[in-house]
Structure 1
Amino acid sequence: MNRTTSIALLFLSALLSASLLAQDDNKVSDARFRTETIKESSDSKRFDIDVSYPALNDRSAMAGAFNKAAKEHAMASVTEFRTMIDEMTDEDRKFLPDGVNYTLDLGYEIEHADESLISVSFGISTYSGGAHPNHWTSTLNFDRKEMKELRLGDLFKSNSGYLNKISEIAIEDLTKQMGNFADEDWISRGAGPDEANFESWAISKKGLLFFFDPYEVGPYAAGGFEVVIPFEKFPLEMQSSKFYTAKTASYVQGNPPNWCRNGHFPSQDVEFSLVRVNGDRSSRAYFFGDDDDCPNGEECRMKAYVIGGDELLVARSYGDFVCAWYQPEKGNETVGWIKLEDVRAATGPEETASWTGEWIFGENDLKIENIGVGALSIKGNAFWKGTGDNIHIGEVDDQGTPNGRVMSIGGTDEYDCRVKMTRVGKYLIVSDNKNCGGVNVSFDGVYVRR
């Protein structure tokens, strides 16, 4: 194989990889969007353009404004590439290996979309000669209500020092990602507190997502980097009203991500598990509340605490905390955030195999009995007490078969009662669809055997 052929194959491999990187995220699973494309090629000028960008399907004024902004975003790269092609001479094209063209590949990913905001990242790759293609990311964050592009500075109050906060976290994260290959000066230049360093940003479920392209914080060979800064890292005094709108991307089942409450705990769509508090019986692990900027705020620590060896039922984590439910032998539960450093995974066999028995949570009850061949009968009552003698009642009477440690019962109609039960340790975690009785009646709760 001669040298020219080897170079051509090397270029083709690099270009194919770049194209796959740019186009891999063009699949739209959200029915609200469609994909628009721009494809051009020329044998004489030796170029290929393959561009995809999103468009909303509805015909509202807002959709028209977004579609226009998304197209303009894509066309900016197309126009720049076409200008470069027009400036190329036949002499320039002689340096292209056989089978290799100048290329522009542009794809996109919907990072987040809700009734308020649409956040899109565009992956762009071009080859204009040289040793390798070039890759970079651009973003479009669109305010649906104001029908215009949202800028990073719009999320924060003036003179709040948000760039310093972003820079500090990004530099620490990038340094950790690169390990021994981190170049302190290079990272400081590319992620310093300059707005130009953070032009490529998006809104994600986990927080603000920042993109750093090859050469920005390290050499080309290091590739690009992404840094996610959780919304909770930004204090309330730094946030504008637009920040609140962006933060709703992280909401869990419609609730703020920092909520950890007994009313929401059983319905969390997570893998529940058991932990124990670290230390001996003289050790304390305090609960933290979920108001405002809690659990991270200075005034978030509650008076309630657990001690070393106590067993907790935990759901999802949030930063350095985990949402925990403590059920004492007598009395009511305590629910709140517990520091992850204060607990460890519980060891020993779990009592998840047995479902039968009489289970209670407050005044609610469930009776589960075997009816043969793995099937179970589930009967129970739930109550809601208002003022005076105002009492609403709900009941369940059904059959089910456990699937591992989860069992679901109920009808398939929209208004049928449906109940999900999960066995973890000595607990039966129950949540329903709020169609199992009168107004405000719910079976939701963490049950123990009577």
Structure 2
Amino acid sequence: MKRISAFSVPAALCAIMLQSTGCTDNTTTKTITGGGYSYKQITIEEKNKYAEIKVQYPQFDGYADLNRTVDKTVVVPYKAFKSTVKQDWKEMDSIRRESGFAAATPPFSYDVGSGPVILNDRYISMLFTTYAMEGGAHGDTTLSSITYDREQNKIVSIIEAAGYTVEELSAYCSGYFMKNLDSGKGSKESEDECAKWIAEGTAPEKKNYEKFTYDGKTLTVYFEPYIVAPYVYGIQKVPIPAK
């Protein structure tokens, strides 16, 4: 079996981040295999009065640059959240008390999931979904992705990976959503609003097509909540055959 194993995660990293909250974390490493390859999945879980946290991300042996990009994408934002969560929670708790809330202020939530993670002879491609809840009606869901071309030894953009122009991507995704997304059914007004969401979210701009995975056969483009439809419709995705 071909093997892509992990770099170890420095223990000091977790120790430094824990000093501000006093919580005890649980960091585990699991080997994930599939398609003749394997990699290490790092999972960090923490729970205290200020926050409930779960962060997952992969690490790959022999790909130092890729691992650094994964750390920048996942670990750096996690550390930023950890550095302020105690003070942010206390401020929220104070506001709730001043507003007359009797119930205890719940802990904030921070969850990062890694999936799908695609590994084959040509590509290492992955999507990260981050959910952060810091009060309010609902949390915020954000996406980020990384696609690494093993032949070119570099991280590639959606255009470099799949060969589509942003105009082609826009036309395909717009047509897909107009046919398959049902958020506008019910009235002419809601249908017009749905069409507006789709037109803006799939406009031929590079920023609309930065979240994707690619395995050489299928390109999958992802859209965060509020991009092509209201929050309740969640994350949307469009599968596109490779050229």
**TM-score w.r.t. length of structure 2:** 0.71
Deviation at 1:177, TM superposition (A): 2.0
Distance 1:36 1:212 in 2: 25
> Deviations for 1:302-321, whole angstroms, at most 9, x for unmatched residues?
xxxxxxxxxxxxxxxxxxxx
**Inter-CA distance 67–91: structure 2 relative to 1 (3 Å threshold):** closer
Distance 2:91 2:117 in 1: 42
Query: Does the 8 A contact of 1:174 with 1:225 survive in 2?
Result: no
RMSD (CA atoms): 2.6
> Deviations for 1:356-411, whole angstroms, at most 9, x for unmatched residues?
xxxxxxxxxxxxxxxxxxxxxxxxxxxxxxxxxxxxxxxxxxxxxxxxxxxxxxxx
Distance 2:169 2:127 in 1: 19
Distance 1:107 1:73 in 2: 12
Query: Does the 8 A contact of 1:112 with 1:204 survive in 2?
Result: yes
1:380-391 to structure 2, matched below 5 A, reads none
Question: Which residue of the partner structure matches residue 122 of structure 2?
Answer: 116
Distance 1:133 1:180 in 2: 21
> Deviations for 1:56-78, whole angstroms, at most 9, x for unmatched residues?
2x4x3xx3333222222211331
Question: Which residue of the partner structure matches residue 149 of structure 2?
Answer: 143
Distance 2:45 2:117 in 1: 24
Q: How many pairs align?
A: 198
1:140-219 to structure 2, matched below 5 A, reads 140-155=146-161, 162-179=165-182, 181=184, 183-204=194-215, 206-219=217-230
Distance 2:54 2:70 in 1: 16
**Inter-CA distance 27–100: structure 2 relative to 1 (3 Å threshold):** farther
Query: Does the 8 A contact of 1:170 with 1:227 survive in 2?
Result: yes
Query: Does the 8 A contact of 1:41 with 1:49 survive in 2?
Result: yes
Question: Which residue of the partner structure matches residue 53 of structure 2?
Answer: 49
Query: Does the 8 A contact of 2:48 with 2:107 survive in 1?
Result: no
Unmatched 5+ stretches in structure 2: 1-29, 185-190
**Inter-CA distance 89–54: structure 2 relative to 1 (3 Å threshold):** closer
Question: Which residue of the partner structure matches residue 72 of structure 1?
Answer: 72
Aligned to 2:225, the other structure's residue is in SS state coil
1:18-417 to structure 2, matched below 5 A, reads 28-30=32-34, 32-43=38-49, 46-56=50-60, 58=61, 60=62, 63-85=63-85, 88=88, 90-94=90-94, 95=96, 98=104, 100-155=106-161, 162-179=165-182, 181=184, 183-204=194-215, 206-232=217-243
Query: Does the 8 A contact of 1:111 with 1:203 survive in 2?
Result: no
Query: Does the 8 A contact of 2:126 with 2:147 survive in 1?
Result: yes
Which protein has greater RCO, CA pairs closer than 8 Å, 6+ apart? Answer: 2
Query: Does the 8 A contact of 2:120 with 2:215 survive in 1?
Result: no
Aligned to 2:32, the other structure's residue is in SS state coil
Aligned to 2:182, the other structure's residue is in SS state helix
Higher strand share: 1
Distance 1:29 1:53 in 2: 15
Distance 2:137 2:183 in 1: 26
Percent of aligned positions that are identical = 22
Query: Does the 8 A contact of 2:202 with 2:228 survive in 1?
Result: yes
Deviation at 1:174, TM superposition (A): 1.3
Aligned to 1:98, the other structure's residue is in SS state coil
Deviation at 1:134, TM superposition (A): 2.0
AA paired with 1:154? Answer: E
Aligned to 1:28, the other structure's residue is in SS state strand
Distance 1:152 1:222 in 2: 24
Aligned to 1:32, the other structure's residue is in SS state strand
Higher helix share: 2
Query: Does the 8 A contact of 2:162 with 2:214 survive in 1?
Result: no
**Inter-CA distance 230–27: structure 2 relative to 1 (3 Å threshold):** farther
Aligned to 1:124, the other structure's residue is in SS state strand
Distance 1:154 1:85 in 2: 38
